[in-house]
Every structure is written in C-alpha cells, then in structure tokens.
Structure 1
Amino acid sequence: MSARKIAEWHDAGLIDAATRDRLTAYEAAHARPLLLWAVWGIGALAIGLGFVSVVAANWEDIPGLVRLAVHLALIAGLLGLVFAREDRLAAKSPWAVEALVFITAALGLTFFGHLGQVYQTSSPLWQPLAVWLALFAPLLLLTGRSWPSALAVVGGAVWTAWEYLTFMTDYPFGDPGAAWTAWLGCVSTLPVVLALAGGWMRARSPRPDFWRRMEQLALAYAVPLASAACAYASLGVFGNEGVLEDSMATLASGAVAVLTGLALMAARPGTSGRMAGAIIAGAGLAILLAPTVDDLDVPAALLFMVLWAGIAAAALVASWRGVFQLAVAAIALRLIILSFELAADLLTSGFGLILSGVMILAVAWVAVRVSKRFAPPSEAEA
C-alpha cells in the first residue's frame, strides 16, 4: 500500500489522522524492497545460468559417478538446511522454506532421470515416479505451507496413477479379470483420497493453508474425472472393449470417490467441509452412472448438467462465488454442445449457422444473467 493511497483515504475522511499515522508506520516497517530483490534475483539467476552452461558444456567429460555424487550432495545439503533451520527460516519468511522444499523435491525427481542416463537403464515411468512420491511426499507433507508443495503432492499422485494405468493397460495381460480391472479403477481415483487427508488435517495442523490447498486440488481432480466420464458416455466409449472401460473399473472408481466424499463430510462437519464432501460424492455418483447412459446424447448431457448443477448448489450453500459461476458456465457450454449434437445438419447451411449463433448468444446471455443474479455476494474460503 502506497503512502499516497493512505493520504487519499485520510483526505476523503475514510480514516482519521491517528489511523493514517499507524498505517504509514506499519507500511514503512514492513516495506518490501522489490527493486532490490529484483536485482538480487537477476544476479542469482545469471550465476545459476552460468553454472548450468559450464556444466552442460563439459557434461560428457564429467564422470557419471561424480555427477551423481554432486546431485546427491545437493539434495542432502538442502534437506539438512530445511530440517536444521526450518523454524528460523519460517519465522523470517515461510516462502523461503517452501522454496527450499520444492527445489529439494524437484532435485529428487530429476535424480532418477540422471541415474538412468549414467547407467543406461530404463523402466516404466510410473516406477521412478512412485519411488519419488514415497521418498519425497513425506517431506512435502511435513513441511509444505502453500500451493507449490500441495500441487507437487497431488500432481505427483495423479501423474503416477495415470502413468501406471497407461503402462498396465498397454501390457499384454490377456483377459485381466474383474479383480484387476477393479484395481485399475481404484488407482485412477486414488488421488481424490488426498482431499480427505487435507480436510482432516487442516484443523489439526499449524499449516492449515497447505492442507486446504491439498483438499482443493484433490477436489479439482475429482470433478474433471467425473466430467470426463460423462463425456465418454456421450461418445459411446464405455461400449468399446478395453480394460479401463470395463464396468468393474467404473464401479470401483466411482465407489472410491463416493466413500471419500462421505468420509470428508464426517471429518469436516462444517458447511464448507460438507459441501466439498458432497461435490466429491456427487462426482463419484456421476462416474457410477456414466456407463448406464453410454452412447445416449441427451441422457449423457443431462448427467453432466446434473453434476454441475449439484456443484452450483453446493457453491451457493458454501458462498463460493467463483465455483458457482464456473458451474453455470459449464452447464451453458454443455447445453450449446448438446444442441450441436442434436442438430448437426443446421451447421451445413447459412441459415443454420445464423440460428446457431443466435442460440449461442442467447445461452451465454442467460448464463451471465443467472451468474450475476444468483451468485453468492462474496466467496468464503473452501
């Protein structure tokens, strides 16, 4: 906040002289020398790029074991710094700890690629990802404070799960059987379970922001997963042969999401927690119902719109303005797509294109009006 803005508030009668002086003193004491930080950042970046360039130019001349040893030493050094100075660094700047932890986790992830390069080995990508997750997720969970660490945990879990699914579905197992397809369905939804961990810990940890972000990210994974299931149904994908399209996989995936949502509602009984759990449970229910409307345009679209209408209702109850507006936009977009699916022939004529344009504008106008008229006045924290 600038001193000019504080002076304008005082001149407008919004604050008295004592408040003006306190605000000015506070801002002066907590001023951030952004220009100085930028200079330091540019200098550090130049040194880092220079170091990388020197190493890259002589990469082949450096023995592999030396490179691996240096890589491990960097990881060990950063780990030691985090655990030895975490409290002191956090007191000065929580972002310093966040940056150190994130860099350490990134170095850990690149170490597996470095190891494969030195020893000329290869393995399915899900295996090093799973090992990295097992080794570094505890570090992120114990010390993470905000978006980067939460995104690393949830994103790493999603990446590992889908790399595992891709590898296993391409592998020639023959007839995998119901138990195996159910397991693959569970794996596709396992990252959603992190929402339960986030909801349980956010009121029991000194780092509630981190756990709140992890809950939000896991919820954000559940909703597109259910939306994709509805989209697959409208395309008739569930009628095709394949491991992931098997009914047991869908049943297991939906069941995991439903149980996670119900458990989250019990673990965090407040309005926000109940609505977040309801959204996840609703997403699981949509996944369970998707195969029943396979290759049926209208029922599949209705299932999608019911899912997002439920999200909009939950957003209204919890006063999540942005989520409500997103839900209205998703329903409007699906309605437009459905009209094109039902009247594709209209697009082949000029008159049909005019009608389509008018319809799109009408749906957009209604969506904007609904969003403005019924959206909550303010957005509470999820």
Structure 2
Amino acid sequence: MSARKIAEWHDAGLIDTATRDRLVAYEADHARPLLLWAVFGIGALAIGLGLVSVVAANWEDIPGLLRLTIHLALIAGLLAVLFAREERLAEKSPWAIEALVFTLAALGLTFFGHIGQVYQTSSPLWQPLAVWLALFAPLLLLTGRSWPTALALMGGAVWCAWEYAGAMTDYGNGGPGLGLLLWLAFVTALPVAFAPLAAWMRARSARPDFWRRLEQLALAYAVAGASLATALAAVGAFGDGGLTKEWASMATSGAVALAAGLGVVLARPGTSGAMAGAIIAGAGLVLPLAYAADNLTLPPALLFFALWGGIGAAALAAHWRGVFQLSVGVIALRLIILSFELAGDLLMSGFGLILSGVMILGVAWGAVRVSKTFAPVKEDAA
C-alpha cells in the first residue's frame, strides 16, 4: 500500500489522522524493497546460470560418481540446513523454508534421473516417482508452508499414479482384465485422498495455508476428472458405453472420490467443509454416469451443468466469491459449446455465424449479470 493512497483516504475522510499515522508506520516497518530484491535475484540467477553453463560445458569430463556425490551432498547439506535452522528461518521468512523445501524436492527428483544417466539404466517412470514420493512426501507434509510444496506433492502423486496406470495397461494383448482395471482406477483416483487428510490437519497444524492448498488441489483434481469425463463422453471417446468392465473402473474411481468427500465433511465440520466435501463427492458420482452416457450429446452436457451448478450452489453457501464466478463462466462456456454441437450446420453459413456471434455475446452478458448479481459479497478460505 503506497503512502499516496493512504493520504488520499485521509483527505477523503475515510480514515482519521491517528489511523493514517498508524498505517504509515506499519507500512514503513513492513516495507519490502522489491527493487533491491530484484537486483539480488538477478545477480543470484546470473551466478546460477553461470555455474550451470560451466558444468554443462564440462559434463562429459566429470566422472559420473563424482557428479552423483556432489548431487547427494547438495541434498544432504540442504536437509541439514532445514532441520538445524527451520525455526529461525521460519521466523524471518516462511517463504525461505518453502523455497528450501521445494528445492530439496526438485533435487531429489532429478537425482533419480541422474542415476539413470550415469549407469545407463532404464525403468518405467512410475518407479522413480514412487521412490521419490516415499522419500520426500513426508518431508513435504511435515515442512510445507504454502502452494509450491502442496503443488509439488499433489503433482508428483498424480504423475506417478497415471504413469503407473499407463505402464500397467497393455491393450495390445486383449486389454486389461476387470481386476486390473479396478485396481488402476483406484490408484489414479487415490490422490483425491489428500483432501480428507488436509481437511483434518487444517485446524490441527501451525501450517494451515499448506493444508488448505493441498485440500483445494485435491478438490480441483476431482472436479477436473469429472469434467473431463463428461467431455470425453460427449465425443464418444470411451468407445463403448453401458455397464462394461470399463464402467466398473469408472465407478471405482467415483467411489474413491465419494469416500474422500465424506471424509472432508467429517474432518472439517462447518459450512465450508461440508460444501468442499459435497463437491468432491458430486464429482465422484458424475464419473460412472458420464461413462454410461457415452457417445451422446445432451446427457453428458447436462451432467456437466449439474456438476458445475452444484459447485456454484456450494460456493454460494460457503461464500466463495471467486469459485462462484468461475462456475458461472464455465457453465456459460459449455452452453456455447453445446449450442454448436446441437446446431453445427449453422456454422456453415454466414447467417449462422451471425446468430452464433449474437448468442455468444448474449451468454457472456448473462454470465456477467448473474455473476455480479448473485456472487457472494465475501469470499472465505475454501
């Protein structure tokens, strides 16, 4: 906040002189020299890029064992700094801890690739990812402060799950059996289980921001999966709708999401927790229904509207202004796409293009009006 803005508020009579003085004093005590930080950051970046360039230019001349030793020593050194200075660093700047932990996680992930390069080994990608999760997920859970570490943890889990599913699926030999499909569906849906864990820890940890972000990422994963399922069903991507073994796998994923949603409701009592859990559970219910509606036009779109309409209703109840506005915008966009799907021939004529343009403007105007009129005044933390 600038001193000029504070002075304008005082001149307009919005704040009195005492409040103005307190604001000015607070801003002076908590001022961040962004320009100076930027200079330091540019200097550090230049040094880092220089070191990387020197190492890259002489990469083949450095013995592989020496490279691995240096890599491992960097990890060990950063771990030592983290555990020896965590409290002091956290008092000065929580973001220092966040940056340190994120760097550690990145070094740990690249270490496995480094091993493969030195010893010319190869393995399915999910295996080093699984080892990385086993070694570094506890560190991220115990020390993470905000969204970078939460994103690293959630992203690593999702990446590992889908790499495992891809490696274990062999459609060239008749496709996987029912048991394997159910197992793979369970594995790919498992990252949603971070939601009840994070919901339970939010009120019991000194790092609520980290757990809130982790819960939000798990919720976003569930919603994204359900939304993608309706989109795939609309274009017939599942290939064969109905009650097949693939449908059973979708139902398994849905059951995991449903259980995670109920877990959030139980772990975090209150309106916000109930609405977050309801969204995750609703996403789980959409999955098998979307598969059953494969290769149809209207039913998958209606499922999409139901999902995001429910998200909008939950946002209203929990006073999540941004989420409500997002849901309105997403529904408006899907409505436009649906109109093209139902009347695609109109786009082949100039008159049809004019009507489509008018419709798009009308839907956009309506979405803005709805968002402004019904959006909650206050947005709470989800």
User: What TM-score do the two structures reach when normalised by structure 2?
Assistant: 0.96
| Cα separation, partners in 2 of 1:334 and 1:2, compared to 1, 3 Å | closer
Give the Å deviation of 1:9.
2.6
What residue number does 1:345 align with? 345
Give the Å deviation of 1:7.
2.6
What residue number does 2:108 align with? 108
* Higher mean displacement: 364-373 or 53-62: 364-373
What residue number does 2:131 align with? 131
Q: Is the 8 A contact 1:255 1:288 kept in 2?
A: no
Give the Å deviation of 1:327.
1.1
Secondary structure, in 3 states, of the residue corresponding to 1:238?
A: coil
The reply on whether 1:66 has 2:93 as its aligned counterpart is no
What residue number does 1:44 align with? 44
What residue number does 1:14 align with? 14
The reply on whether 1:95 has 2:95 as its aligned counterpart is yes
The reply on whether 1:3 has 2:3 as its aligned counterpart is yes
What residue number does 1:192 align with? 192
What does 1:102-251 correspond to in 2, within 5 Å? 102-170=102-170, 174=174, 176-240=176-240, 246-251=246-251
Mapped partners of 2:138, 2:84: distance in 1: 17
Mapped partners of 1:109, 1:175: distance in 2: 32
* Higher mean displacement: 8-17 or 155-164: 8-17
What residue number does 1:314 align with? 314
Q: Which runs of 5+ in 2 are unaligned?
A: none
What residue number does 1:373 align with? 373
Query: Which residue identity is paired with 1:189?
Result: A
Query: Which residue identity is paired with 1:267?
Result: A
Per-residue CA shift, 1:267-293, capped at 9, x if unaligned? Answer: 111111000000000000000211221
Give the Å deviation of 1:78.
0.2
Give the Å deviation of 1:52.
1.0
Give the Å deviation of 1:71.
0.1
Query: Which residue identity is paired with 1:42?
Result: I
Q: Which runs of 5+ in 1 are unaligned?
A: none
Secondary structure, in 3 states, of the residue corresponding to 1:237?
A: coil
Mapped partners of 2:272, 2:346: distance in 1: 44
Query: Which residue identity is paired with 2:200?
Result: W
Give the Å deviation of 1:376.
1.1
Secondary structure, in 3 states, of the residue corresponding to 1:14?
A: coil
What residue number does 2:76 align with? 76
The reply on whether 1:303 has 2:303 as its aligned counterpart is yes
Q: Is the 8 A contact 1:238 1:245 kept in 2?
A: no
Secondary structure, in 3 states, of the residue corresponding to 2:70?
A: helix
Mapped partners of 1:118, 1:299: distance in 2: 53
Secondary structure, in 3 states, of the residue corresponding to 2:377?
A: coil
What does 1:348-359 correspond to in 2, within 5 Å? 348-359=348-359
Q: Is the 8 A contact 1:82 1:97 kept in 2?
A: yes
Mapped partners of 1:355, 1:14: distance in 2: 49
List structure 1 runs of 4+ shifted beyond 6 angstroms: none
Q: Is the 8 A contact 2:170 2:176 kept in 1?
A: no
Give the Å deviation of 1:172.
5.1
Query: Which residue identity is paired with 1:92?
Result: K
Query: Which residue identity is paired with 1:10?
Result: H
Q: Is the 8 A contact 1:237 1:245 kept in 2?
A: no
Q: Is the 8 A contact 1:185 1:248 kept in 2?
A: no
Give the Å deviation of 1:171.
6.7
What does 1:318-329 correspond to in 2, within 5 Å? 318-329=318-329
CA RMSD after TM alignment: 1.6
* Higher mean displacement: 369-378 or 14-23: 14-23
What residue number does 2:57 align with? 57
Mapped partners of 1:80, 1:33: distance in 2: 29
Give the Å deviation of 1:206.
0.5
Per-residue CA shift, 1:144-182, capped at 9, x if unaligned? Answer: 000100000111111111111122224756453222111
Mapped partners of 1:264, 1:316: distance in 2: 18
Query: Which residue identity is paired with 1:30?
Result: H
Mapped partners of 2:355, 2:190: distance in 1: 44
Secondary structure, in 3 states, of the residue corresponding to 2:378?
A: coil
What residue number does 2:360 align with? 360
Give the Å deviation of 1:25.
2.2
Per-residue CA shift, 1:43-74, capped at 9, x if unaligned? Answer: 21121111111111111100000000000000
Mapped partners of 2:313, 2:3: distance in 1: 43
Identity of matched residues, %: 74
Query: How many correspondences in the alignment?
Result: 380
What residue number does 2:276 align with? 276
Mapped partners of 1:217, 1:155: distance in 2: 9
Give the Å deviation of 1:354.
1.7
Query: Which residue identity is paired with 2:371?
Result: S
Give the Å deviation of 1:245.
7.4
Per-residue CA shift, 1:212-261, capped at 9, x if unaligned? Answer: 000001101110100111112112223349xx971221110111011111
Mapped partners of 1:27, 1:299: distance in 2: 55
Mapped partners of 2:349, 2:73: distance in 1: 67
What residue number does 2:289 align with? 289
Mapped partners of 2:36, 2:245: distance in 1: 56
Per-residue CA shift, 1:91-116, capped at 9, x if unaligned? Answer: 01000011100001000011111111
Mapped partners of 1:158, 1:267: distance in 2: 23
Q: Is the 8 A contact 1:265 1:276 kept in 2?
A: yes
